[in-house]
């Protein structure tokens, strides 16, 4: 009896934890939710390789989901549905790589933008652990042979170097590198470099700085938004905004505090977008009305973006050459504050936005003529009696193409 009294606190914790775990899994079992992909118009062929990923929120838990026209997968934060190292958190193309080329994928980043695939090979780009070399790894799909190439950073200064973007066009690999001296003064600027690799001959064709500290104020923050590389066009889009310097001091209460020299409204007013034409070495300013939009994408000579007003939301395109703005789609559904997803592929704009807390609108627009090529919905179905409709929130977070 004394033994039981001695450890009663420990037993109470164990019993309480066990009950909580049982209740949690009972809730998981009784709060089953399914998602159904419904086509309204158009052919599913245009979305057959599209995957919509996001979150499902219930009073009991937060789940991840991945939905395609013919498949739905759901996973809690504590569990991964798929075996063999595959996960719905990752790009489905990377899951395929892991499944087919496990040895090559071991230890590599799960950032899909660092990989490029052709019929014959897979190319992976990274920076070595010492941040002294650019690393290119090439996998021959047929022979499974892996070839590695190193290109030293001879002209990059900075203690934090990373790959921001890669594009592969006609046997040339274009890489945008960013560099930041984190050991320098507060407010140190990012610098950006372009590396061009001839993958046919495994040669460094070009290395040049495209944005340096000398091109910006000390309080500027410049971030890469998107880029487009073709045979005849090499354009990178950046966002620039002001990050006011902080003043730090000890107040009368002995507390260490930091304050901006400008308020947040001043910061918003100086947000800008601009393009760098890397062929003509030209900086192209983008009108402020476009910078106030969101979800900016650049393809060929167009910038696509979302413009929101009180009465509606619009997908618009800005012709860089003609400096003209056209509306290509008007979105229906609720403005829930969770945003709208845009993705472009092969001349089509893929759009996902919430229609309600239980439904996602899907639409595919032919960019050239503005026609709707596909309309559909992802809806919550098979809702158990233990859950009310008002207790569920579906939230799309990513559009990705599996191939």
Give whichever of 42-46, 138-142, 307-311, 368-372 has the largest mean pLDDT: 138-142
The lowest-confidence range among 55-69, 137-151, 239-253, 373-387 is: 239-253
Q: For residue 6, what are the CA distances in angstroms to 11, 87, 227?
A: 10, 45, 67
The lowest-confidence range among 17-21, 41-45, 100-104 is: 17-21
Residue 260: pLDDT band by 50, 70, 90 thresholds? low
Predicted pLDDT at 30 = 42
In this structure, the number of other CB atoms found within 10 A of the CB of residue 2 comes to: 6
More confident residue, 62 or 373: 373
Query: What is 257-306 written as a DSSP string?
Result: EEEESS-HHHHHHT-EEEEEETTTTEEEE--HHHHTSEEEEEETTEEEEE
Is the pLDDT confidence value at 95 over 60?
yes
Predicted pLDDT at 279 = 92
Q: For residue 159, what are the CA distances in angstroms to 104, 131, 168?
A: 28, 8, 27
Rounded distance between C-alpha atoms, residue 62 and residue 76, angstroms? 6
380-400: average pLDDT: 74
Residue 13: pLDDT band by 50, 70, 90 thresholds? low
Predicted pLDDT at 5 = 53
Predicted pLDDT at 20 = 53
Residue 266: pLDDT band by 50, 70, 90 thresholds? very low
3-class SS of residue 105:
helix
Rounded distance between C-alpha atoms, residue 275 and residue 235, angstroms? 7
Length of the chain: 403
Predicted pLDDT at 32 = 64
More confident residue, 168 or 8: 168
The predicted model scores a pTM of: 0.77
Predicted pLDDT at 380 = 84
DSSP type of residue 183: T
275-302: average pLDDT: 91
Burial of 384 (0-12, 13-18, 19+ CB in 10 A): exposed
Is the pLDDT confidence value at 144 over 70?
yes
Predicted pLDDT at 267 = 44
User: pLDDT tens-digit profile of 208-238?
Assistant: 999 988 888 777 788 999 999 988 889 999 9
Rounded distance between C-alpha atoms, residue 301 and residue 76, angstroms? 42
Residue 176: pLDDT band by 50, 70, 90 thresholds? very high
Average model confidence (pLDDT) across the chain: 80
Is the pLDDT confidence value at 77 over 50?
no
Residue 183: pLDDT band by 50, 70, 90 thresholds? low
Predicted pLDDT at 376 = 93
Predicted pLDDT at 14 = 63
Q: What are phi and psi of 269, to 5 degrees?
A: -65, -25
Rounded distance between C-alpha atoms, residue 162 and residue 61, angstroms? 35
Contacts of 287-296 spanning 24+ positions with Cβ under 8 A: 287/318, 287/323, 289/325, 290/316, 290/318, 290/325, 291/239, 294/339, 295/339, 295/340, 295/341, 295/342, 296/225, 296/226, 296/237, 296/239
The set of residues, in sequence order, having a beta carbon less than 8 Å from that of 307 and lying 6+ positions away, is 292, 293, 313, 314, 315, 316
């Amino acid at each position: 009896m004394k033994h039981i009294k001695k450890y009663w606190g420990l037993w109470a914790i164990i019993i309480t934890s066990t009950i909580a775990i049982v209740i949690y899994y009972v809730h998981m079992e009784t709060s089953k939710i399914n998602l159904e992909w419904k086509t309204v118009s158009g052919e599913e062929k245009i979305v057959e390789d599209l995957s919509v990923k996001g979150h499902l929120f219930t009073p009991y838990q937060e789940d991840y989901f991945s939905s395609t026209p013919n498949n739905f997968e759901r996973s809690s934060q504590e569990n991964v549905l798929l075996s063999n190292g595959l996960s719905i958190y990752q790009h489905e193309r990377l899951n395929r790589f892991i499944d087919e080329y496990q040895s090559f994928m071991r230890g590599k980043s799960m950032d899909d933008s660092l990989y490029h695939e052709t019929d014959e090979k897979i190319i992976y780009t990274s920076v070595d652990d010492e941040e002294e070399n650019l690393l290119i790894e090439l996998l021959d799909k047929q022979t499974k042979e892996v070839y590695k190439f190193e290109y030293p950073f001879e002209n990059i200064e900075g203690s934090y170097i990373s790959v921001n973007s890669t594009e592969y066009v006609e046997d040339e690999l274009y890489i945008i590198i960013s560099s930041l001296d984190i050991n320098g003064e507060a407010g140190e600027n990012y610098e950006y470099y372009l590396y061009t690799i001839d993958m046919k001959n495994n040669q460094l064709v070009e290395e040049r700085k495209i944005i340096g500290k000398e091109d910006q104020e000390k309080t500027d923050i410049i971030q890469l938004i998107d880029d487009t590389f073709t045979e005849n066009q090499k354009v990178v889009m950046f966002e620039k905004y002001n990050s006011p310097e902080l003043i730090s001091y000890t107040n009368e209460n002995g507390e260490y505090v930091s304050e901006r020299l400008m308020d947040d409204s001043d910061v918003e007013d100086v947000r800008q977008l601009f393009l760098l034409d890397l062929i003509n070495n030209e900086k192209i300013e983008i009108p402020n009305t476009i910078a106030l939009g969101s979800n900016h994408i650049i393809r060929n000579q167009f910038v696509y973006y979302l413009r929101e007003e009180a009465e509606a939301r619009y997908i618009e395109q800005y012709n860089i050459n003609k400096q003209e703005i056209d509306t290509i789609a008007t979105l229906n559904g609720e403005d829930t504050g969770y945003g709208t997803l845009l993705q472009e592929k092969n001349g089509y704009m893929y759009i996902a936005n919430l229609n309600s807390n239980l439904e996602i609108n899907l639409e595919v627009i032919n960019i050239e003529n503005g026609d709707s090529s596909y309309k559909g919905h992802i809806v919550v179905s098979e809702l158990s009696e233990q859950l009310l409709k008002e207790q569920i929130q579906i939230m799309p977070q990513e559009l990705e193409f599996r191939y």
